[in-house]
Amino acid sequence: MDAFSTASVLNRMPMFRHLESEQLYLLSRHTREINATKGQRLFNKGEQAEGFYYVLDGKIKLAFVSSRGTEKIVDIVAGGENFGESMMLSSQPWPYYAQVLLQSRLLYIKGEAFTQVVHGNPRVAQLLLTSMSRRVCHLFADMEALCLQSSRERVVGYLLREIEQQRQRGETDLTIELPDTKANTASLLNLTPETFSRIIHTLDREKTISVSRRTVTVLDLERLQEGCGC
């Protein structure tokens, strides 16, 4: 937990992999390692964002809350991903709250030090830009799905995207592990647990997929692609 060990952990992040040790050290003095337990809240919606997070391992849920107390999960972040750079950079309040789904280790990197490093390192700025553009594109895609796809199309689309991602990683089997409980997966797709359940079980009865606990196996990719509305 000393500055040296933190620096070496930072150095393993894609964004900081090439940094000089001096800058890693500067950064590490403004970085907190966090060991968070299931259920814990990292921050609430509306609080000022003064840094961003990098997930070493574990699983974090990011979710909106409405005035009526209902929630909509924006993302479930796993090891190797970061979140919150945008809110930090434009010093906005958090648009969502963050809750730990299972025992997690994170880095919390404060804004001031990070901004310095970004300004001094075109390469870091570059990496940050690409990561942020990817996020923007992703948000547009989500938005499109939410606005003009039916509930079934969203589920099918989700499954196909997961398969596609795995295929790009070279994994060949047609098996998908849901990111968390069915209820949370449903919320990710802006569905109630009930509708999500009904949809995957119709697909199951149609022999298009087979569902067992949190594992979905695609049996008939062709048929799945037909019902996706693309």
Q: Choose which of 190, 210, 219, 221 interacts with DNA (CB under 7 A).
A: 190
CB of 12 vs DNA, minimal distance in Å = 32
Cα Rg, the chain, nearest whole Å: 19
Is 140 buried (19+), middle (13-18) or exposed (0-12) by CB count in 10 A?
exposed
* Nearest distance from C-beta of residue 88 to a second copy, angstroms: 8
- Which residues share a beta bridge with 75? 62
CA–CA gap between residue 230 and residue 216 (Å, rounded) = 21
Is residue 207 part of the contact set for DNA (CB under 7 A)? no
Q: How far is the CB of 77 from a second copy (least distance, A)?
A: 14
Vertex 62: Cα angle to 83 and 151 (nearest 5): 120
Quick one: which of 10, 27, 107, 191 contacts DNA (CB under 7 A)?
191
Sheet holding 215-218, edge to edge: 175-177, 215-218, 209-212
- If one asks whether residue 145 binds DNA (CB under 7 A), the answer comes out as no
The item of DNA, a second copy, none sharing an interface with residue 198, based on CB under 5 to 8 Å by kind, is: DNA
Does residue 198 interact with DNA by CB under 7 A? yes
Site string for DNA, 65-104 (x = CB under 7 A): -----x----------------------------------
